[in-house]
Amino acid sequence: MAMYKRDISASALTAAFVATMVGYAGPLLIIFQAAELAGLNHAQLSSWIWAISFGCGITSFFLSMYYRVPVLTAWSTPGAVLLVSGWAQYSYSEAIGAFFISAVIITILGITGIFEKLMNRIPMAIISAMLAGVLLQFGLDVFVSIGSFPALVVPMILVYVLTKRWLPRYAVILTLLVGISFAAGFGRFHLHDVTVSPVHPVFTMPTFSLDALIGLALPLCIVTMTAQNATGIGVLRASGYNTPASPLISVTGIASLLLAPFGSHGLNIAAITAAICTGEEAHPDKNKRYIAGMAAGVLYVLYGFGGATITSFFSAFPRELILVIGGLALLPSISSSLAQAMEGSQKESALITFLVTASGVTAFGIGSAFWGLLAGICVHTVWSKRLYAPMKKVV
C-alpha cells in the first residue's frame, strides 16, 4: 500500500480522468444509437453500459496493478458501429449469443498465443506508424476546434504551451481547469443537467443461431482483434512497455465472456485512451504511470453504476473542450510515435502505414488501422532484403 501512495501523482489521476472522459464522450453515443435501432428498453441499455464500464474498470485496475504498466481496456467502438448496421435483424438473446461466441474466439486466440506471435513479427516502426496515424486526427481536432469555439480553445492552447514550458507535469490538469472555467463563464458547462440513478444489471440467457454467428459474432471478433487489440498492443509497445500480449487478450476475452449475458458486446485493449495514460503527461517516470491505469479502472467502475445516465455528465462539457483536452494530452504520443516510425531502415513502409491509417479508409467493415498495418507489412515484405537479395545476385 505504501508503494502505491508513493507513486500516486496529480498528473496520473488527471490522465485517468481525461482518458475516461474521451472514452465515454464519443463511443457512448454510438451505443445509444445501436440500442435505439435494436429496440432495447431502458433497463437493457443501462445493463449494457454497466457491463462494459464494469468490465473495463475491473480489467484496467487489476492488469495495471499486476503488470505495473498502464494497461487500459475499452469496449469495442468498431464493434458498436457494426451493431448499428447489423443488430436490428437479430433478437436480443441471439445478439447476446453472438457476443458470447465472439468472446470465446478471442479468448482462444489469447490463450494459445497465436495473436502475440503475429504481433511479435511486425516491425516496431510499422506499429509506431499505425499508432501515429490513429492519433493524428485527435491532434488535428485541437486546431479545427478553433473555428467553432475560439474563445475557449485558444486560451486552452496558450495555457498548455506555457505550462508545458514551466510546469510540464501539470500542463494537462491546468489546461483542463482553465477550459472548464472558460466553458462555465460562457454558459457552456451545464452541470445542472447531470442526473444520477442506480443501475440494475439484467441477465439474459443467450440463444445461438447460425445467422447471428456469421452476421454478428465473426465480424465482431475480427474488428475487435484487428482494429482494437492490435492497435492497443501497439500503443504499449510504442511506449516502451513489452507486456506480454497473450495474457492481456485472454483476460479481456474472459471478461467479455462473463459479461456478455448482461449486454457487453466485447472488451479489448484500449488504444486512444491508453495513449493518454502511457505518455509522459501521465508521469515523467514510465514506471509510475501504472497509477493512471488503476485510477481509470476505478473511475470506470464508478461511472458504470450510473448506467445510461452517465452520458448526462459528459454531455455537460462542451464538445470542443473534450476534443482539445484529449488532443493536447495525446501530443507527446503522436510525437514519439512519428519519431520511432521514421527511425531505422523502414521509413518507406512506415510512411505508407501512417498515410493509409490516417486516411480513415474502411473496407468490409474494418477500419483504417488494420489496412494501414496490412499495407505496411506488405511493403516491408516486398522490399525486405530476403526477397530482393537473390534478385541482385542474378542481375
Local structure of residue 363 (DSSP, 8 states): B
pLDDT of residue 307: 61
Q: Please report whether residue 175 resides in a domain.
A: no
pLDDT of residue 41: 85
Q: Could you report the per-residue pLDDT of 346-384, keeping only the tens digit for each?
A: 889 999 999 998 998 877 766 787 788 889 999 998 887
**pLDDT tops 50 at residue 394:** no
Q: What sign does the dihedral 208-42-87-265 (CA atoms) show?
A: negative
Mean pLDDT over each residue of the chain, to the nearest integer = 86
Q: Could you report the per-residue pLDDT of 300-313, keeping only the tens digit for each?
A: 998 888 765 665 66
Whole-structure pTM value:
0.80
Please give the average per-residue pLDDT across 336-346, as a whole number: 85
Cell of residue 132, nine digits = 501515429
pLDDT of residue 391: 42
Q: Please report whether residue 166 resides in a domain.
A: no
Choose the most confident range, by mean pLDDT, from 234-243, 252-261, 324-333, 346-355. 252-261
Q: Could you report the per-residue pLDDT of 43-68, keeping only the tens digit for each?
A: 888 899 899 999 999 999 999 999 99
Cell of residue 295, nine digits = 485510477
3-state secondary structure of 182: helix
Q: Please report whether residue 184 resides in a domain.
A: no
Domains contained in the chain, number: 1
pLDDT of residue 171: 85
Percent of the chain exceeding pLDDT 70 equals: 91
**pLDDT tops 90 at residue 213:** no
CA dihedral 5, 7, 10, 14 (to 10 degrees): -110
Would you give the end-to-end CA distance of the chain in angstroms?
66
pLDDT of residue 151: 95
pLDDT of residue 29: 64
- Region of 344 (left: φ > 0; alpha: ψ -120 to 50; beta: rest) is left
**pLDDT tops 90 at residue 3:** no
**pLDDT tops 70 at residue 389:** no
Q: Please report whether residue 324 resides in a domain.
A: no
Q: Please report whether residue 45 resides in a domain.
A: yes
* Least confident among 84-88, 146-150, 259-263, 376-380: 84-88
Q: What is the extent of the structural domain holding 49?
A: 2-152+190-317+333-394
Q: Please report whether residue 158 resides in a domain.
A: no
Q: Please report whether residue 73 resides in a domain.
A: yes
Q: Please report whether residue 16 resides in a domain.
A: yes
- 176 versus 395: which is more confidently predicted? 176
CA distance 32 to 102: 21
